[in-house]
Structure 1
Amino acid sequence: MALLISTLPQATAQTSLPTLGDSSDLTTSAERRLGDRIIRELYRDPDYVDDPVVADYVQGIWQPLLAAAKTRGELSAELDERFAWEILLGRDRTVNAFALPGGYLGVHLGLIGVVATRDELASVLAHELSHVTQRHISRLITQQSKQTPLLLGAMVLGALAASKNPGATQALVVGGQALAMQNQLNFSRDMEREADRIGYGLMATAGFAPQGFVSMFEKLQQANRLNDNGSWPYLRSHPLTTERMADMQSRISPGTASATGAATQASSEHAMVAARARVLSNPGVDALRQWIAEPRGSGFQSLPLPRRAAALYAAALASSQLRDAAGARTGARQLDDLVRQDPAAHRLVRLLMAEIELAAGDVATALTFIPDGNARRPELMLRSQTLLRANRASDATQALQTWVATHPKDATGWQLLASTWQAQGQALRAIRAEAEAQAARYDYAAAVDRFKAGQDMARRGGAAVDHIEASIIDTRLRAMESLLREQAAER
């Protein structure tokens, strides 16, 4: 169900799948470097989005799957240490997800917006994870032993770009030899079956209903019948054969709830996150207005609670995006009354209310919905933004410093910290945080530029300079210059 490249045609001939444990010509370090090269470009893509609410929900599914892979022995200690295990969200309405070299995964908001339960989303992530743990990408590269990994990296970028612009592949993938590779870059059917089998095995261990695999297959199979206009690359490169669906169904133990049973019923929390993904996928003003109108329709009160929660959430967020603060507040209050007894859903409502008030410019009210002391990322990021708007940057600094100390790859956290330091007149610290934000997105050239700016500032500062900060900048600059030289050598 998952993919390396989402838009290339299916292979017409594939070699047999190697047995588990077979070696690859590509080392884990080389695969990680290839992934880093690809991911640097994806971070620059305008469709890349870091939405703390959606990302936090996805991580709540992803982390148990990683732990299950370790428990079951599917994820080796070497891969665990060397690979990134990062998920990037794309502001794209297509139903798509993909695995990349080095432990990177991409998930489109369009996919999150259509899955009905967290078990269905878990099935997609488990399948993608299994492609990585079984080193399917490395095996494909080994099959193309005469091609360089960098050429493959260029093709991956070209194929991903083609989901938005069909001409982009031709622009990025150059040369007859590269074009000849296209038919061999998709995962083979054997690899797809292996990822199905291993991913399915992770589900129960990670705390998810395995029936999510079956219901997800059925959902995508139906979508495939209804859509044949090029808008479903996930389906085109992942043939959902009845054989694969039957294989997943046969693995469910007799007596277990059906694929639409209680184990996979939608929750209000999931329905609201899916609604948020649909709104953030930037569908246009007309769609936003339709979502605003949905809760006013006849028969709305007869809908299941999760469906009503999703509709109210989408209406409130859409109203806020259309700068209708009054309408957004009304929808949020109705939603609050509806899900008040559900702690997970109610948390999302409080975050939404804070977001609405921040967009409306009422920072004092926004802060009442996100009290100090909550260490979860969505609350921390939103509270820090609100404190900055309230000219209380110093109140946000300590929490952000603690966060980036334990999450050094959080570029958004570093950028917010840079803004708080700048607001307090701490220019040297702000420059260092800006450099760390660039480094977190693998843009080592930009990081070197900012560290050098900090170094120059420290030299001009004389006795008044923060010598500890200046020493950190010197050390980090040398590290970034070393990484930049490695990048240049790869090119």
Structure 2
Amino acid sequence: DLGEVSRQYFSDQEEQALGRAIMRDVYADPRYLDDPEIETYLNQLGYKLVEVSTRNQREFNFFVVDDPSINAFAMPGGNIGVHTGLLLAAQNESELASVVGHEIAHVTQNHIARMIASQSQSQWPTMAALALALLAARSNPNVASAAIASTQAFSIQNQLNYSRDYEREADRLGYDMLTRGGFDPRGMSGFFSRLERANRFYDSSAPAYLRTHPLTTDRISDMQSRSETAPYQQVADSLDFQLVRARLRARENSPADAVLAARNALKDKRYSSETAARYGLVTALVRARQFKAAEAEVQKLLSGKPTHPMIQQLAAYAALAAGTPALALQRYQAGSEAHPGYRPLQYGHIEALLAAGRSRDA
């Protein structure tokens, strides 16, 4: 168990402090995606895996980075970032869960703390440079972008790449989380095999994930061997996963192009979930400020699966964006009553109250 690490030189308190310092600057950076719906989903997925981990005594925080590259990374303090590119590249939810579980294992096994502790104290300023690169975002976005491009400031392990032993351990524990969490264990071998092929044939533009996570043929073989011995089970993607991907696609390209792409997908039935496809269309229509068309599609959504919190949140937000705060408040009220713990609805409800001039109620 490589996670049994001495904290003689890097205590748990020091790791938590470093994690908090870096996250303050991540939240201030323009690449941080402040989207409560997507972040809520990612935390729900992450904690579904954490809860079945054999070492789940610590807190985790999952956040999203608005970056098209395929990447995910663990940082000090249980902070795990996932790029939007990974959310869209995963062909199913089990593939996404396999990467998230792998990163959770890096945290539970104290791999980051071990790597930092293994450096002599004279090298610690190199680690601090990551936080300084993010600090630049507050004063000069151009400097911040250059710093991120050159140092991968979002990924602390870029300074200390994971060893093959760490990777094998994260594979093993991540696989266990997949199976215990009810996901398809073949998601891990399928996803990492595709990454390996991309690295082999397109070395100059290899996925960012492989820069800090060395991928070998032995690791791929181990993943495939484990999945081949597992009993076959077909695991359907959750509606949440499909809605999140539709939401991300609606953010791509220009608003008009996003609307056209969403309409064509619905017309040609190019979707795995009609509900998610329509959700994506409404998101794109609101973005394009086509509120009348958006409301017509909202009505279709509400007649189908109106109880899903992401759908109720979008219906209320569409009404608020269209300048009908009374309707928005009605929908937020209904959504909050149906899903009292769903934070995006709570945030939206407060925004609608403020828009209606009811600041005291907010």
Q: Normalising by structure 2, what TM-score?
A: 0.83
- Determine if contact 1:117/1:267 at 8 Å carries over to the other structure: no
Corresponding residue number in structure 2 for 1:450:
none
Corresponding residue number in structure 2 for 1:262:
234
Question: 1:81-92 to 2 correspondence within 5 Å?
Answer: 84-92=59-67
Question: 1:280-429 to 2 correspondence within 5 Å?
Answer: 280=251, 283-285=252-254, 288-297=255-264, 300-306=267-273, 308-336=274-302, 340-341=304-305, 344=308, 347-370=309-332, 371=334, 372-373=336-337, 374-375=339-340, 376-396=342-362
Shift in CA distance, 124/157, structure 1 to aligned 2, threshold 3 Å: farther
SS in 2 for 1:186: coil
> Shift of residue 271 of structure 1?
1.3
Q: Is 1:42 the counterpart of 2:26 in the alignment?
A: yes
Corresponding residue number in structure 1 for 2:243:
272
- Determine if contact 1:49/1:91 at 8 Å carries over to the other structure: yes
Corresponding residue number in structure 2 for 1:425:
none
For residues 222-271 of structure 1, what are the alpha-carbon distances to aligned partners after superposition, in whole Å with 9 as ceiling and x for unaligned?
A: 554676564831233334433222212211364622xxx621x3344311
Shift in CA distance, 253/220, structure 1 to aligned 2, threshold 3 Å: closer
Q: Is 1:31 the counterpart of 2:15 in the alignment?
A: yes
Corresponding residue number in structure 1 for 2:112:
137
Between 1:183-192 and 1:55-64, the stretch displaced more is 183-192
Q: Is 1:201 the counterpart of 2:176 in the alignment?
A: yes
How well do the aligned residues superpose, as a CA RMSD in angstroms? 3.4
User: Out of 21, 24, 45, which is 2:4 matched to?
Assistant: 21
> Shift of residue 195 of structure 1?
0.8
> Shift of residue 391 of structure 1?
1.7
For residues 346-377 of structure 1, what are the alpha-carbon distances to aligned partners after superposition, in whole Å with 9 as ceiling and x for unaligned?
A: x3222211111111111112223222534221
Question: 1:90-239 to 2 correspondence within 5 Å?
Answer: 90-155=65-130, 158=133, 165-166=145-146, 185-221=160-196, 223-224=198-199, 230=205, 232-239=207-214
Letter in 2 for 1:31: E
- Determine if contact 1:158/1:172 at 8 Å carries over to the other structure: no
- Determine if contact 1:214/1:248 at 8 Å carries over to the other structure: yes
- Determine if contact 1:34/1:102 at 8 Å carries over to the other structure: yes
Letter in 2 for 1:232: P
- Determine if contact 2:316/2:329 at 8 Å carries over to the other structure: yes
Percent identity of paired positions between Structure 1 and Structure 2:
34
CA distance in 2, matches of 1:245, 1:88: 27
SS in 1 for 2:360: helix
CA distance in 1, matches of 2:112, 2:247: 32
- Determine if contact 1:130/1:199 at 8 Å carries over to the other structure: yes
SS in 2 for 1:327: helix
Letter in 1 for 2:324: D
CA distance in 2, matches of 1:271, 1:232: 23
User: Out of 37, 40, 63, which is 1:56 matched to?
Assistant: 40
- Determine if contact 1:34/1:149 at 8 Å carries over to the other structure: no
SS in 2 for 1:124: helix
- Determine if contact 2:265/2:277 at 8 Å carries over to the other structure: no
CA distance in 2, matches of 1:194, 1:172: 24
How many matched pairs? Answer: 350
> Shift of residue 166 of structure 1?
4.9
Q: Normalising by structure 1, what TM-score?
A: 0.63
Letter in 1 for 2:42: V
Structure 1 gap segments, 5+ residues each: 1-17, 174-180, 397-491
SS in 2 for 1:147: helix
- Determine if contact 2:250/2:284 at 8 Å carries over to the other structure: yes
Structure 2 gap segments, 5+ residues each: none
Shift in CA distance, 317/157, structure 1 to aligned 2, threshold 3 Å: farther
> Shift of residue 130 of structure 1?
0.8
CA distance in 2, matches of 1:332, 1:133: 42
CA distance in 2, matches of 1:355, 1:231: 38
> Shift of residue 152 of structure 1?
0.9
Letter in 2 for 1:273: V
> Shift of residue 54 of structure 1?
0.9
- Determine if contact 1:61/1:118 at 8 Å carries over to the other structure: no
SS in 2 for 1:369: helix
